């Protein structure tokens, strides 16, 4: 048996090395996904649990959370996934004979969230899909409406409208399923252009900062502010709160919030200074109804 001891900095460095290794193999991960992958490799249910252990949350607190049903398999944002689904998605696939022209009804742009799109395209007999910020992947048909890629293992299934054109797709990957609805390509183009400008300007969104401050203040009181969160963020917060609550109890009250930069994905990055420590906090684009769609924190 091998025992691996990690500090907070060591865990982050290990996650970054994992990300670099996978990138060299053609697999691109967001930084947050690399953190989650490292936690899974080390046998923890999520990155927040690993951080909590590294930073002093007692094993009894972690065990209590598990006893209350929070040891189920979830990712760093709290999205549920299952071992059964993960195994099915990783199972060997067999490509079928498929008329390439039949793929044209799937070609188009689909939106998962305010900042994540999937562009599906065909070039002669080759079928490709590209997620925002990633390179294109080639997909192969396993049925008339479901396609797979091998590296990383993932599948796309499409739902057709009465007129015979795809109105949505489902991404099956990492034990989870993500729904995206068809949108006009101009929506994705406009987002990409706005994202590039936002990153180049490198100025924070005042509205995001207001919501972040309210969110942190609520965490300090022990009662998360769900009114400012999108449904997915509410779910993830509820699922990770038993693990993260001791962290905020230990950190104490927020004393300062310093804007650091806008990262390449368009998220505002802050240094949150508390009475007993610091966090690096990221806030992503808001939903159309001005709710927090994505936040992420880590120890510096």
pLDDT tens, position by position, 53-69? 555 544 444 344 433 33
Question: In which band, very low, low, confident or very high, does the pLDDT at 276 lie, cut at 50, 70 and 90?
Answer: very high
pLDDT at 115: 81
Higher confidence at residue 90 or residue 228?
Answer: 228
Question: In which band, very low, low, confident or very high, does the pLDDT at 76 lie, cut at 50, 70 and 90?
Answer: very low
Tell me the mean pLDDT in the region 265-280. 94
Q: Is 118 helix (H, G, I), strand (E, B) or coil?
A: strand
Higher confidence at residue 45 or residue 226?
Answer: 226
Tell me the mean pLDDT in the region 254-283. 95
Q: How far apart are CA 205 and CA 286, in angstroms?
A: 10
Q: What order of strands is seen across the sheet that includes strand 277-283?
A: 254-262, 268-274, 277-283, 295-298
Q: Which two tokens stand for residue 17?
A: 């090395």
Q: Which residues of 150-186 are buried (b: 16+ CB within 10 A; e: fewer)?
A: eebbbbbbbeeeeeeebeebbbbbbbbebebebeeee
Percentage of the chain lying above the pLDDT 90 cut: 48
Asked if residue 212 has pLDDT above 80, the reply is yes
Question: In which band, very low, low, confident or very high, does the pLDDT at 1 lie, cut at 50, 70 and 90?
Answer: very low
Prediction pTM value: 0.61
Tell me the C-alpha to C-alpha distance, in Å, between residue 286 and each of 181, 203, 291. 18, 15, 5
Q: How far apart are CA 189 and CA 169, in angstroms?
A: 19
Q: Is 136 helix (H, G, I), strand (E, B) or coil?
A: coil
Asked if residue 161 has pLDDT above 50, the reply is yes
pLDDT at 201: 97
Asked if residue 83 has pLDDT above 70, the reply is no
CB burial of residue 207 (10 Å; 0-12, 13-18, 19+)? exposed
Mean per-residue pLDDT of the chain: 82
List all residues 6 or more positions away from 263 whose beta carbon is below 8 Å from its beta carbon: 199, 269, 282
pLDDT in tens, 85-139: 777 888 889 999 999 999 999 999 999 987 889 999 999 999 999 988 778 999 9
Residue from 171, 165, 193, 158 nearest 112 by CA: 171
Tell me the mean pLDDT in the region 227-254. 88
Q: How far apart are CA 202 and CA 197, in angstroms?
A: 9
Q: Is the link from the previous residue into 152 a cis peptide, with omega within 30 of 0?
A: yes
Higher confidence at residue 261 or residue 60?
Answer: 261
């Amino acid at each position: 048996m091998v025992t691996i001891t990690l500090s907070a900095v060591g865990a982050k460095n290990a996650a970054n090395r994992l990300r670099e290794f996978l990138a060299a193999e053609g697999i691109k991960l967001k930084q947050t996904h690399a953190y989650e992958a490292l936690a899974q490799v080390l046998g923890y249910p999520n990155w927040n649990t690993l951080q909590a252990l590294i930073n002093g949350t007692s094993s009894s607190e972690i065990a209590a959370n598990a006893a209350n049903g929070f040891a189920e398999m979830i990712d760093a944002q709290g999205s549920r996934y299952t071992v059964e689904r993960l195994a099915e998605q990783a199972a060997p696939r067999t490509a079928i004979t498929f008329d390439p022209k039949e793929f044209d009804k799937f070609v188009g742009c689909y939106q998962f969230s305010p900042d994540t799109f999937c562009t599906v395209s065909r070039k002669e007999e080759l079928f490709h899909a590209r997620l925002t910020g990633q390179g294109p992947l080639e997909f192969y048909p396993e049925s008339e409406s479901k396609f797979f890629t091998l590296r990383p293992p993932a599948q796309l299934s499409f739902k057709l409208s009465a007129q015979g054109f795809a109105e949505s797709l489902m991404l099956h990957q990492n034990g989870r399923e993500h729904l995206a609805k068809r949108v006009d390509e101009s929506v994705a183009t406009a987002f990409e252009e706005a994202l590039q400008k936002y990153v180049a300007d490198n100025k924070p969104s005042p509205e995001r900062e207001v919501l972040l401050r309210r969110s942190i203040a609520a965490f300090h009181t022990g009662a998360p502010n769900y009114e400012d969160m999108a449904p997915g963020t509410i779910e993830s917060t509820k699922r990770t709160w038993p693990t993260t609550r001791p962290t905020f109890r230990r950190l104490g009250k927020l004393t300062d919030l310093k804007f650091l930069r806008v990262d390449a994905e368009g998220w505002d990055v802050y240094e949150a200074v508390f009475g007993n420590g610091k966090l690096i906090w990221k806030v992503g684009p808001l939903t159309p109804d001005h709710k927090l769609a994505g936040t992420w924190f880590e120890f510096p």
